[in-house]
Copies of this chain bind each other. A is one copy, B any other.
Amino acid sequence: MSELLPPLDRLIQQFRKLPGVGRKSAQRYVFRLLEMSDAEAAELAEAILDAKRSVRHCSVCFGLSQDEVCPVCLDEERDRTTVCVVEDVRTMLTFERVREYRGLYHVLHGSISPMTGVTPDKLKIDELVERVKAADSVIGEVILATNPTVEGETTALYITKLLRSYPNAPKITRIAYGIPVGGELEYADELTLSRALEGRRNSEG
């Protein structure tokens, strides 16, 4: 056994597809797996297949769903006049965890990045436009919550121009970027500080 047995090597290769998993971690996973009972290992394999099988994208917001339309889009208690546009499902989940936002979402599944071949047609932008323009649409505000990166900014700008070009365009806003709560001004980078200045508001009190 001067090398690992082929089935173990193959499993290591597979584990390495997971984010942040290098050879050492993958090997540790494999050895733990060998220590598990057959039933336990089968449970893990089955959970992987089941997640892929039973989870798809909501046909309205493109968030995750077990059904055609996701629980958020179906929730009658939510504010149907506001749509928050995010780059990915993770951001959507972060918003949900905050429990501050009660509107709907639209997941773009990426951001415009010509360098890596992600053009607007690869994102769910057309679908957003359709949602906004739909005859029965009650959307009054689109909140752009893309990341404060070059790609995120480009995407926000692109969507803003696109939506504004239609008659009866809804209000289009962006979330505020600035100094994080608890952050120290002394250590803020220039870009964040300039964004914080730009977004200044009248002091209350």
Contacts and interface: CB of A to CB of B under 8 A. Distances in A.
Interface of A: 1-2, 4-8, 10-11, 13-15, 17-21, 25, 28-34, 36, 38, 40-52, 54-55, 63-66, 70-72, 88-90, 92-93, 96, 99
B45 A7 contact: no
Given A47-B7, A48-B44, A48-B45, A17 B36 contact: yes
B19 A32 contact: yes
A197 to B, nearest CB: 33
Given A31-B90, A45-B46, A49-B41, A55 B5 contact: yes
Please provide the 7 A-B residue pairs with the shortest distance between their CB atoms, ordered closest to farther.
A45-B45, A14-B47, A11-B47, A41-B52, A45-B48, A11-B51, A14-B44
Nearest to A92: B1
Contacts of A4: 93
A108 to B, nearest CB: 14
Copies of the protein in its oligomer: 2
A5 B40 contact: no
Contacts of A92: 1
B33 A48 contact: yes
Contact of A55 (B7, B14, B63): B7
A43 B14 contact: yes
